[in-house]
Structure 1
Amino acid sequence: MSTLTVRLLAAPEAARLLRHAVREHLGPDGHPDAELCVTELLSNVITHLGAGAPVTLRVSGSGRAARTRVELTDPAPRTRPAPRRAAGNDESGRGLALLEAVALRWGVTEGYRTKTVWCEL
């Protein structure tokens, strides 16, 4: 099983780069939901830690694999994602609901000075 690893600073323009990297890694039969999950996980980091936070994306598996695992690690182990219910007019608050809708499962792993939010597709 191959693994894609990308380290960068969280920024809105990084979402496009990460989606492209995921698409290249998973190949033509890739998993579009993986691109969605990467975008939502990166958006959470930008919203809660701010642009410029260092992140590491890991994608395990390939487009042909039975399961694909997406992980995004950031330097804030105590800032944990919590699903919320967005009202109809809210412009944010749906990211984790989208993750729950497309992922088989998801969770958070706390490391030494880091946190990894992951999902399996």
Structure 2
Amino acid sequence: MPELRHAVREYLGDPCCEVQFCVSELVTNGIRHVDEGAPVRVRVSRREDGGPRIEDTDPDPRALPVLLHATATDEGGRGLVLLDAMALRWGVEQGATGKTVWCEL
């Protein structure tokens, strides 16, 4: 994942901790919740207003992200809550052969 965060920083050309976190979270969730070895595509772009949009596309239209509220003893389940707090908005676009989870900062 460090290589991915570095590539994002190089692409945007400035410090972008929030973008790097969101990329890491979306990709980690995509890898964790689809079949092992399934291709995952990441796209980072700028909207017309200059803000970043991050998209993570995978081939499983069924494995949808769920916003959980982890307890103090849970070892996971906080990433999407943090992404939700950072993002202006986020969502899922489902297709017949996959889905794209996206967020805008």
Aligned residues: 104
Identity of aligned residues (%): 54
Amino acid at match of 1:120: E
User: Aligned partners of 1:51 and 1:33: how far apart in 2?
Assistant: 27
The residue that corresponds to 2:30 in the other structure is 45
* Preserved CA contact (<8 Å) 1:45 1:53: no
Aligned counterpart in structure 2 of residue 89 of structure 1, from 47, 58, 73: 73
Extract unaligned runs of 5+ from structure 2: none
Amino acid at match of 1:38: V
Extract unaligned runs of 5+ from structure 1: 1-14
Check 1:89–1:50 CA distance in 2 against 1; reply closer, same or farther (3 A cut): farther
Shift of 1:95: 1.3
The RMSD of aligned alpha carbons is 1.6
The residue that corresponds to 1:24 in the other structure is 10
Amino acid at match of 2:58: D
In the alignment, is residue 54 of structure 1 matched against residue 44 of structure 2?
A: no
In the alignment, is residue 118 of structure 1 matched against residue 82 of structure 2?
A: no
Moved over 4 A (4+): none
Amino acid at match of 1:99: L
1:18-42 superposed Cα distances (whole Å, 9 cap, x missing partner)? 1111101000x24211100011111
Aligned counterpart in structure 2 of residue 108 of structure 1, from 82, 92, 95: 92
Task: Give me the TM-score of the superposition, normalised by structure 1.
Answer: 0.79
Aligned counterpart in structure 2 of residue 35 of structure 1, from 20, 36, 44: 20
Task: Give me the TM-score of the superposition, normalised by structure 2.
Answer: 0.90
User: Aligned partners of 2:78 and 2:36: how far apart in 1?
Assistant: 19
Shift of 1:51: 3.9
